[in-house]
């Protein structure tokens, strides 16, 4: 048995190999809280779902590309030689750019892909497409796109805010109260872009609790916050957080608990906020009683909390999930407005945070230098779409739409190349996405396993996993470099993406531009040399590359462990202005107001969702579905693995349901249920628990889409994918973010023989 240090998005690990075969991956001994997601590796690498050879959809192989009318997701695949697959891909790319231009090519590389700095699927694909003349790209992300677009208008760049976010260690020393909207889910903090050496969040939260910090959690799901910190659980109607924030703000205002001095010096636009809170704009004062009607949180508890927040050193923490709902911008604007009224922004353990707990790095650590990456080159195509608009783009080419003050139109896409992601996990309303995916002439997918996205392709390339190649591990917010040696040989005919793209580039005569005459190893050695130079600047001498690959984690010092968000701005706002138009926090934004968007006006505003429990639609579909992140995998990655499978109920994704809602439907713990609305239906396994509020269910994302009848409109998904049920609306015209958490459903006990799960079986032709 040999052991190798390795890394993944869920942390550093130790890979065990016997007779050339991976037998397991355990947590690194230096990690105080390692993630069990490592247990998914073995089955995903060697299981039936692994793509072993290049494959082409039968209809595409026989008839070639067609614009519309395809049978993607329905037809089987035929395994072909590498030469055939590479020739077909090269021909499709060349024909598309010659006939329609590079504006007809969509580089759909969205997702977590590889944790390595070189074999990063998005960087590999984007460099390749840029060398071929460019491509239409997506902008933003599904996780926190509202923050990426909104926050620069009102307080500053989101990435800068997270990088310089207040540390939990500071809250333990100085804090008294943490008010959470959406909790601090440890399951999400298992993962961090690029990986992490140590999972720190649980320990930091326990330190805060031990120091006497009190936690209050507004959250429909109690288990989104670790029980050990003894948070007070307040379970509002999903989608009502903005109303609660307004009720708190109204109490602060009318009881003169707000910090007028802070508001005058550090913000602009509070007079507009004040007018709205008092009801002068719409005739509705945003009292605690009004907020209680929207949220079902008692009015007196809202008032008491406002007073408690005003007399305490208070940290307001809003989860990323809250913005993934209709008008999700408003919860973020509300967070900043409420923190501004308290006047504690820039003080230790005061102010606000966005998306803490959404990954294992925010609020915990920073790196002293920027890790090198595989250069993507320059994209000569300027056209882009907001990331959540892919179905709209494919279904409505040429249609106009609005985004962040811009008037744009959708391109006419004839070819998609997807690498390092799974839109049939990330994107909403799968039935609509299925229709959209029939439109392009060619869809090429690089994949490890037969995910739904691979099944909706024309050409599928089998690619290596992180354990089948060598790389450099370095997390986006982590302070460590982690060796990623080649642990095992590639399974079957899997190849590195760099080699695949190199061979296609050779066929089209731009291989020199793509490779710069370098092998993978030469690229990695060059990146390591860059790291050596940068590291010497912070007083660390790195070993040579070979020694690094065979060694252990190299940890750097956190450059600023006492970080407090916006402390310099608070100290001197004139010398340290924000990047907003006024240089201050914009509680009212003239710029956003000038866009004229009815779904995102110029200030923090209550805009009820179309689908929520107080809507008319709740008469037909009386349960609000939350589709959060799973505990047992990263999104949909490695769903075939042992740990992911361990949480399934009779092979289906578990769905949390309150005992009263279960009893009303004659559902018992462990039953298989049919979850449905007018968009679609899926099966799931009932978990009856009081950790979820009444009239709410929790169905995690990431179960691979497994239709009972492939190709049939609105076929039942046998496996439990919530995007059968989510709508494909956006948060607003401002950010065009996904609004997945605004979905109403009903469920019933499934009667009859359970259909077999077949999504892990290769969709190969028997001919």
Contacts with 271 (C-beta within 8 Å, 6 or more apart), sequence order: 588
Q: How far apart are the first and last CA of the chain?
A: 41
- H or E element at residue 105: strand 105-107
User: Among the options 60, 110, 144, 233, which is catalytic?
Assistant: 110
Residues whose CB is less than 8 angstroms from the CB of residue 451 and which lie 6 or more positions away in sequence, other chains included: 422, 424, 425, 636, 704
Closest CA to 181 of 442, 412, 17, 356: 356
Q: What is the 3-state secondary structure (H, E, C) of 353-398?
A: EECCCCCCCCCCCCCCCCCCCCCCCCCCCCCEEEHHHHHHHHHCCC
Catalytic (active site) residue 112: yes
Token pair of 742 as six digits: 């605004």
The answer to whether residues 221 and 691 touch, using CB atoms and an 8 Å cutoff, is yes
Report the candidate in 250, 278, 456, 416 with the shortest Cα–Cα distance to residue 338. 250
What residues are paired with 25 via a beta bridge? Answer: 15
For residue 266, indicate whether it is catalytic. no
Torsion from C-alpha of 107, 113, 119, 120, nearest 10 degrees: 50
Tokens of 155: 């307080």
For tokens 């760099």, name the residue.
498
What are the two backbone dihedrals, phi and then psi, of residue 111, each rounded to the nearest 5 degrees? 145, -175
The residue behind tokens 């049919």 is 674
Q: How far is CA 313 from CA 213, 327, 351, 623, 708, in A?
A: 10, 29, 9, 37, 54
Q: Which of 10, 112, 417, 760 is catalytic?
A: 112
Contact between 349 and 171 under an 8 Å Cβ cutoff? The reply is: yes
At 741 the three-state DSSP class reads: coil
The span from the CA of 44 to the CA of 650, in Å, is 20
E strands, 551-632, in order: 554-555, 585-586, 623-626
Which amino acids are annotated catalytic? 110, 112
């Amino acid at each position: 048995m040999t052991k190798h240090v390795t890394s993944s998005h869920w942390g550093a690990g130790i890979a065990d190999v016997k007779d050339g075969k991976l037998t397991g991956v355990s947590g690194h001994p230096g990690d105080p809280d390692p993630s069990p997601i490592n247990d998914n590796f073995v089955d995903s690498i060697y299981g039936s779902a692994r793509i072993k050879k290049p494959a082409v959809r039968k209809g595409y192989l026989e008839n070639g590309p067609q614009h519309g009318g395809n049978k993607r997701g329905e037809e089987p695949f035929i395994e072909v030689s590498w030469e055939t697959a590479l020739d077909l891909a090269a021909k499709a790319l060349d024909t598309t750019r010659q006939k329609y231009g590079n504006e007809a090519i969509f580089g759909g590389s969205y997702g977590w892909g590889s944790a390595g700095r070189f074999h990063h699927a998005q960087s590999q694909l984007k460099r390749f497409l840029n060398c071929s003349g460019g491509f239409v790209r997506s902008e933003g992300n599904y996780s926190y796109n509202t923050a990426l677009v909104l926050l620069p208008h009102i307080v500053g760049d989101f990435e800068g805010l997270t990088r310089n976010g207040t540390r939990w260690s500071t809250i333990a020393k100085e804090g008294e109260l943490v008010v959470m909207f959406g909790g601090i889910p440890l399951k999400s903090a298992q993962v961090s872009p690029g990986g992490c050496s140590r999972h720190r969040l649980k320990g930091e939260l326990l330190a805060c609790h031990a120091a006497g910090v009190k936690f209050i959690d507004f959250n429909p799901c109690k288990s989104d916050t670790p029980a050990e910190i003894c948070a007070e659980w307040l379970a509002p109607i999903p989608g009502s957080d903005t109303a609660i924030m307004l009720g708190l703000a109204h109490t602060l205002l009318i009881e003169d608990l707000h910090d007028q001095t802070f508001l005058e010096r550090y913000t602009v636009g509070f007079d507009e906020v004040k007018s709205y809170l008092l009801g002068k704009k719409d005739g509705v004062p945003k009292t605690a009683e009004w907020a209680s009607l929207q949220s079902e949180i008692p009015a007196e508890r809202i008032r008491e909390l406002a007073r408690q927040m005003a007399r305490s050193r208070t940290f307001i923490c809003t989860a990323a999930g809250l913005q993934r709902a209709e008008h999700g911008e408003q919860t973020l604007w509300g967070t900043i407005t409420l923190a501004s009224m308290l006047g504690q922004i820039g003080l230790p353990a005061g102010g606000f945070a966005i998306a803490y707990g959404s990954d294992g790095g925010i609020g915990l650590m920073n790196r002293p230098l920027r890790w090198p990456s595989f250069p993507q080159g320059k994209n000569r195509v300027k056209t882009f779409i907001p990331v959540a608009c892919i179905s709209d783009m494919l279904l409505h080419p040429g249609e106009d739409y609005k985004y962040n003050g811009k008037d744009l139109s959708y391109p006419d896409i004839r070819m998609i190349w997807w690498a390092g992601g799974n839109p049939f996990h990330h994107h909403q309303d799968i039935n609509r996405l299925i229709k959209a995916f029939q439109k392009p002439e060619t869809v090429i997918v690089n994949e490890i396993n037969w995910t739904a996205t691979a099944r909706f392709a024309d050409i599928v390339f089998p690619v290596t996993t992180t354990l089948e190649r060598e790389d450099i591990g370095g997390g986006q917010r982590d302070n460590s470099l982690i060796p990623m040696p080649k642990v095992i040989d590639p399974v079957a005919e899997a190849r590195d993406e760099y080699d695949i793209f190199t061979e296609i580039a050779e066929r089209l005569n731009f291989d020199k531009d793509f490779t710069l005459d370098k092998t993978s190893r030469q690229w990695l050695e060059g990146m390591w040399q860059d790291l050596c130079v940068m590291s010497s600047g912070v007083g660390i001498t790195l070993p040579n590359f070979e020694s690094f690959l065979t060694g252990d984690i190299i940890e750097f010092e956190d450059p600023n462990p006492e970080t407090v968000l916006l402390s310099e701005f608070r100290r001197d706002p004139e010398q340290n202005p924000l990047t907003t138009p006024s240089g201050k926090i914009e509680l009212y934004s003239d710029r956003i107001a000038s866009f004229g968007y009815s779904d995102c006006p110029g200030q923090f505003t209550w805009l009820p969702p179309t689908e929520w429990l107080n809507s008319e639609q709740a008469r037909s579909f009386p349960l609000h579905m939350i589709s959060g992140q799973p505990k047992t995998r990263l999104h949909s990655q490695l769903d075939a693995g042992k740990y992911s499978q361990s949480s399934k109920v009779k092979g289906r994704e578990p769905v949390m349901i309150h005992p009263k809602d279960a009893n009303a439907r004659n559902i018992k713990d462990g039953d298989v249920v049919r979850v449905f609305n007018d968009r679609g239906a899926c099966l799931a396994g009932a978990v009856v628990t009081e950790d979820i509020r009444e009239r709410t269910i929790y169905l995690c994302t990431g179960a691979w889409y497994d239709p009972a009848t492939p190709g049939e409109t609105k076929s039942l998904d046998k496996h439990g994918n919530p995007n059968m049920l989510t709508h494909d609306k956006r948060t607003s015209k401002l950010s065009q973010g996904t609004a997945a958490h605004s979905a109403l459903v009903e469920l019933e006990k499934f009667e009859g023989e359970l259909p077999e799960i077949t999504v892990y079986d290769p969709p190969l032709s028997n001919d």
